[in-house]
Structure 1
Amino acid sequence: MEKYCLSVDIGASSGRLVAGNMEAKRLNLHEVHRFENKLIEKNGHFCWDIESLFNEIKAGIHKCKEMDIVPTSIGIDTWAVDFVLLDEDDQLLTDAVAYRDPRTDGIMEEVTEIFMKERLYLETGIQFQKFNTIYQLYALKKQNPEVLKQAKTFLMIPDYLHFLLTGEKANEYTNATTTQLINAFTKNWDKEIMDTLGLDVEMFQAVHMPKTVLGPLKEEQAAEFGFNMAVILPATHDTGSAVLAVPQPEDTVYISSGTWSLIGVENDFPICVTKALDYNFTNEGGMDGQFRFLKNIMGLWMIQEVKRNYGDRYSFAELVELSKAANGTGPVVNVDDPRFLKPEHMVHEIQAYCRETGQQVPEQPGEIAKCVFESLAVSYQKAICEIEDIFEKKFSTINVIGGGSQNELLNQLIAEKTKKEVFAGPVEATAIGNLVAQLIAVGEIADLKTARSIVKESFEVKKFVHAIAEKERS
């Protein structure tokens, strides 16, 4: 009987359940269910519809039976930093407020006055972003202190979804590192930071590593589905899972390309030096003791919003074609400017930025799209130069993974801007990485090195070369 594992991968705009099994030393993927994910307005905040997400997970599990797939295990990954709090009866005290909500405006500056910025970085190694969990919790402490006082359990989004399946509470390591509350060296909660900020240490759960078997489904869940399975923790931070699918990480900079662009390298230890702080790089935890030394850059969120602003008249593929047809070199915006995080109207915000910086203002959809793609490529080039400066070495290749790796125009722009070879794929990197952790845990794959060689043989990867290299070869 074939052994299937089930990956639940939920991003900021959509989710998917993908079953995976090994056959003839190749990993096969079977898409089971896809669904939309979007922000909702609730109680004055932008939130995730956590109940709907769990219902979609259950719908996907039911579909497995229709496909004659009985998974041995299941694991869930999502985006980072967001969380819920539970009361003493394990009921939700908070909505799943989203990182794009403005409740953290100005909070990071307040926190770094209480706990010195340089020391916070030395302890955690985490990039300073206004929506990090530490600032969300401090905002809650300021704005709703009574809620925080009642809280008995802190769970990040995938932790909570795992809890609904099993009744077991745990904080998975890779996602927990994004809170800016995990000590980079002990790999556990930093109680000194929590005490200094007045956060209750007791509500945080034991930190568990990827590949941990959390437990079986609750009896009522197993009865509903007609079978039981193990819940195994993947790298529950989606980027943590995605990076596991980089076929050949040596001497390679990866770009996990989706709503966000995560650009970095794998490393054996955290780099908490002044230069890394100045460049605002992060040291997020990975599987098997690795660290993802990376920078979080605004990603395809911008083009997603542009598409929405045009009333979804154009598909993403059509926006790419319109961009190609736009004349000349377009203007460039700083994609990491906070004004692009959650603007009222992305197209108008891009135009305003160009106007304010004395650049030609893009008017047509193709010109706007061209501006976004050019700006992303420029930001990637800058981040790669910073990585090379910190490591004092040159990296020869870039591996773009995730949904954004399908954008061949952007891949070529990256090759041109960086003068490096760009490899694009696999597309379903996060689901693959999620499955890899489970398959190792159940003994179907020996280790991560073996898994990466399997990924290399199992999925298509396209190569993009910059014009200079192409000219030299011909």
Structure 2
Amino acid sequence: MTKYSIAVDIGASSGRLILGYLENGVLKLNEIHRFENKIVKKGEAFCWEAGKLFQEIKNGLHQCKQMGIKPDSIGIDTWAVDFVLLDEDDMPLTEAVSYRDPRTDGIMEQVFGHIIKERLYLETGIQFQKFNTIFQLYSIKQSNPEILEKAKSFLMIPDYFNYLLTNKKVNEYTNATSTQLVNAFTKKWDVQLLDLLGINKEMFHEIKMPKTILGNLSEELVGEIGFDMKVILPATHDTGSAVISVPEKEDTIYISSGTWSLIGVENYFPICIMKALDYNFTNEGGLDYRYRFLKNIMGLWMIQEVKRNYQDVYSFAELVEMARAADSFKSLVDVNDDRFLKPENMVDEIRNYCQDTNQMQPNTPGEVAKCVFDSLAASYKLAVKEIEEIFEKQFKKINVIGGGCQNEMLNQLVADVTGKEVNAGPVEATAIGNIVAQLMALNEIEDIKDARAIIKKSFEIKKYLPAKHVLNQ
């Protein structure tokens, strides 16, 4: 009998429920429900609307019932680092504050007063981003210590939704590693780091691996939506799910392209060395204790904000075409500069950066878009160089996955500037990785090797070759 799994995939701007199942050895997908996600201002903080997001998950399950679909399982993935704290009555102590909130400004340096930076990296293997969970928690300790004293449960965003589905509290491994509080070698919460920071270690739960069957829906939820199913942990970190869709090839670098660009390779052990620290690479947990050795790059967030700043007059496709027409514009920005994390106006910030660095300022939407795409490609090129230096080998191909792989202009730019073949696809990499993890738990797919063979057979991959004139330069 065919097993049906629902992937709940929630990103920075939208979420969706996607039904997945195998038919004659081919993975089929069907979008059931799509909804908006955005950061809102609550008091002085920029927050996610966790309650509304969970209601949208339930709306999607109601839609399943109306369509006559009774899924066998559900799995949730979201972005990393953000969390909810619950008190002894399991009530939220805070809003689900976004990593883009400025509360962590200057906090990283305060943490280094308690823990030497190099030690923190060598133990956790996680890159330094000012919004990492460790710095968010220490910010709360500095401003509202009573919150941490009352906290009995630390749940990352997908952990919290899983709790609302099942009444069970666990911390899933791939997302837990992004906190910079999990030891890369023991794969458990690093209690020594927590003690050094004076953070209550009792609020953290047991770390569970992807493919864990957490349990069934709560009786209350079954009564509300009208059917029961298993709740299975995928890689709840969306990039962890997406990377499952990358072919297992030793000569391939991946780019998970969305709001963020995550560029790296899959590895079987953490690379916690000083050069990796200097280049700010991370070792995030993956399926079956694999490691995602990668670097965060600001990604398509910049073009999303550019589109919004132009009052959504232009579609993404139109911005790409206008960028093509602005071929003579050559200014570049450092896409990883913190000034682009949450500026009041992205277009103005790009212009200001160009002015500050004595470059020509973009004046038209096409020039702004061209600047963003060229700058992303340049950042990818640098990251590829750093990866090859660390691994002391050349990689032949780059596999771009996720929604951003549909940007043909950017794909060709990456091929041209790196001199490497670029394979683009699958588009729905995150939902696919989520679903195949569930199907492995349900014994419908044997292992990740089998899953990747099915994915390769099921979805289109486009190839981009570097332009000869670029290679000959």
TM-score, normalisation: structure 2: 0.99
Q: Which residue of 1 aligns with 2:60?
A: 60
User: Which amino acid counterpart does residue 460 of structure 2 have in structure 1?
Assistant: E
Matches within 5 A, 1:189-268: 189-268=189-268
Q: Which residue of 1 aligns with 2:116?
A: 116
User: Which amino acid counterpart does residue 309 of structure 2 have in structure 1?
Assistant: N
Query: Are 1:153 and 1:203, in contact at CA under 8 Å, matched by a contact in 2?
Result: yes
Write the deviation string for residues 362-403 of structure 1: whole angstroms up to 9, x where unpaired: 000000000000000000000010000000000000000000
Distance 1:470-1:25 versus aligned 2 partners, 3 A rule: farther
Distance 2:167 2:283 in 1: 31
Query: Are 1:217 and 1:229, in contact at CA under 8 Å, matched by a contact in 2?
Result: yes
Q: Which residue of 1 aligns with 2:141?
A: 141
Write the deviation string for residues 220-275 of structure 1: whole angstroms up to 9, x where unpaired: 11111111001000000000000001134431000000000000000000000000
Q: Which residue of 2 aligns with 1:152?
A: 152
Q: Which residue of 1 aligns with 2:36?
A: 36
Q: Which residue of 2 aligns with 1:47?
A: 47
Tell me, yes or no, if structure 1 residue 340 matches structure 2 residue 352.
Answer: no
Q: Which residue of 2 aligns with 1:288?
A: 288
Write the deviation string for residues 98-147 of structure 1: whole angstroms up to 9, x where unpaired: 00000000000110121000000010000000000000000000011111
Distance 1:110-1:246 versus aligned 2 partners, 3 A rule: same
Distance 1:329-1:447 versus aligned 2 partners, 3 A rule: same
Query: Are 1:249 and 1:266, in contact at CA under 8 Å, matched by a contact in 2?
Result: no
User: Which amino acid counterpart does residue 373 of structure 1 have in structure 2?
Assistant: F
Query: Are 2:170 and 2:206, in contact at CA under 8 Å, matched by a contact in 1?
Result: yes
Deviation at 1:66, TM superposition (A): 2.2
User: Which amino acid counterpart does residue 358 of structure 1 have in structure 2?
Assistant: N
Write the deviation string for residues 396-438 of structure 1: whole angstroms up to 9, x where unpaired: 0000000000000000000001000000000000000000110
Distance 1:199 1:437 in 2: 33
Distance 1:142-1:463 versus aligned 2 partners, 3 A rule: same
- Percent identity, aligned pairs only, is 67
User: Which amino acid counterpart does residue 252 of structure 1 have in structure 2?
Assistant: T
Q: Which residue of 2 aligns with 1:309?
A: 309
1:71 is paired with a residue whose SS is coil
Q: Which residue of 2 aligns with 1:171?
A: 171
TM-score, normalisation: structure 1: 0.98
Distance 2:255 2:112 in 1: 29
Q: When the two structures are aligned, how many residues end up with a matched partner?
A: 472
4+ long deviations beyond 4 Å: 469-472
Distance 1:434 1:3 in 2: 14
Deviation at 1:2, TM superposition (A): 2.5
2:168 is paired with a residue whose SS is coil
Query: Are 2:122 and 2:272, in contact at CA under 8 Å, matched by a contact in 1?
Result: yes
Distance 1:151-1:379 versus aligned 2 partners, 3 A rule: same
2:84 is paired with a residue whose SS is strand
Distance 2:441 2:250 in 1: 24
Distance 2:341 2:276 in 1: 23
Deviation at 1:470, TM superposition (A): 10
Deviation at 1:67, TM superposition (A): 2.2
Tell me, yes or no, if structure 1 residue 464 matches structure 2 residue 428.
Answer: no
User: Which amino acid counterpart does residue 191 of structure 1 have in structure 2?
Assistant: V
User: Which shows bigger deviation, 61-70 or 101-110?
Assistant: 61-70
Distance 1:30 1:327 in 2: 38
Q: Which residue of 2 aligns with 1:388?
A: 388
Q: Which residue of 1 aligns with 2:99?
A: 99
Distance 1:170 1:318 in 2: 44
User: Which amino acid counterpart does residue 220 of structure 2 have in structure 1?
Assistant: E
User: Which amino acid counterpart does residue 236 of structure 2 have in structure 1?
Assistant: T
Tell me, yes or no, if structure 1 residue 27 matches structure 2 residue 27.
Answer: yes
Distance 1:295 1:469 in 2: 29
Distance 1:211 1:202 in 2: 25
1:141 is paired with a residue whose SS is helix
User: Which amino acid counterpart does residue 95 of structure 1 have in structure 2?
Assistant: E
Distance 1:210 1:129 in 2: 25
Matches within 5 A, 1:376-455: 376-455=376-455
Deviation at 1:327, TM superposition (A): 3.6
Q: Which residue of 2 aligns with 1:320?
A: 320
1:322 is paired with a residue whose SS is helix
Gaps spanning 5+ residues in structure 1: where?
none
Query: Are 2:419 and 2:471, in contact at CA under 8 Å, matched by a contact in 1?
Result: no
RMSD across aligned C-alpha pairs, in angstroms? 1.1
